[in-house]
Amino acid sequence: MPPCAFPISVDDILRAGTAIVAAGYCMYGSATDMVLTFGLGVHRFTLDPTLGEFIHTQGPVQFPAVAKRIYSCNEGNYALWDEAMRAAVDGFKQQDPPYAARYVGSMVSDVHRTLLYGGIFLYPADRKSKIGKLRVLYEGFPMAKIVEDAGGIATTGLFQGKIQRVLNLHPTGVHDRCPIILGTPSDVQTVLDIYAQVSAETAKREAAAKSKELALS
């Protein structure tokens, strides 16, 4: 086989998510869906097995104006989450009416539902997985691109000491990981507001403790 005319190195793909020009996924279930974005809107295609072709069935896909009240996360990790994440999920459950819990355990399935019906998908960092579990390059970036192009928000939550937009991350390795919080803007903003509140309260407590320490010294 002749050498590639344009050799590709790992450095060519280790770029910020803002460099992505297209993203997509396939969803296998009662129907086979393919969801794609090239930066000009998200479009959904469904396989017609009688034709052997994907038929355009929806697009441009946008998060619904009136979203379903659904939160999606692995609550088995609840005890390992930080204070803000526990407070956010508790808040969703204490709404009137409360949010429904839906969690398949497959990112594609959970994000696909979130994209079509609204709500929020959360896979935060925790005490055991301090940098999260999902891969930045081939899970975080593609889904964040699709979600943003459909009018949603994709953030890491508190990651490496600050709140970050997923697409602003700049991986240094192919298998780098990050936390993911994405979905309907109002739901994601609720989580971000709780992080801001908890951070402010923590800073206030630390300042008071430091002031007390100085007074005693």
* Rounded Cα–Cα distance for residues 150 and 48 (Å): 24
Mean pLDDT (the chain, rounded): 92
Per-residue confidence (pLDDT) for residue 6, from 0 to 100: 59
Give the residue-averaged pLDDT of 161-183: 94
Better-scored residue on pLDDT, 31 or 8: 31
Reported pTM: 0.89
Give the residue-averaged pLDDT of 178-193: 96
Per-residue confidence (pLDDT) for residue 68, from 0 to 100: 95
pLDDT band, very low/low/confident/very high, at 59 (cuts 50, 70, 90): confident
The position carrying tokens 């930066």 is 39
Q: How many CA atoms are closer than 13 Å to the CA of 121, on its beta-carbon side?
A: 28
Query: Is the pLDDT reported for residue 46 higher than 80?
Result: yes
**pLDDT tens column, 86-115:** 999 999 999 999 999 999 999 999 999 999
Measured over the CA atoms of residue 176, residue 135, residue 85 and residue 78, the dihedral's sign is: negative
The two three-digit tokens of residue 27, written as one number: 């969803």
pLDDT band, very low/low/confident/very high, at 5 (cuts 50, 70, 90): low
Edge-to-edge strands of the sheet including 23-28? 23-28, 32-37, 42-48, 53-61
Per-residue confidence (pLDDT) for residue 210, from 0 to 100: 77
Q: Among candidates 82, 83, 69, which has minimal Cα distance to 187? A: 69
Per-residue confidence (pLDDT) for residue 3, from 0 to 100: 61
* Cα separation values, 192 from 18, 107, 155, Å: 21, 21, 9
pLDDT band, very low/low/confident/very high, at 161 (cuts 50, 70, 90): confident
The answer to whether the CB of 155 falls within 8 A of the CB of 165 is: yes
**pLDDT tens column, 137-146:** 999 999 999 9
Give the residue-averaged pLDDT of 184-207: 89
Give the residue-averaged pLDDT of 15-40: 94
Instruction: State which H helix or E strand residue 36 sits in.
Output: strand 32-37
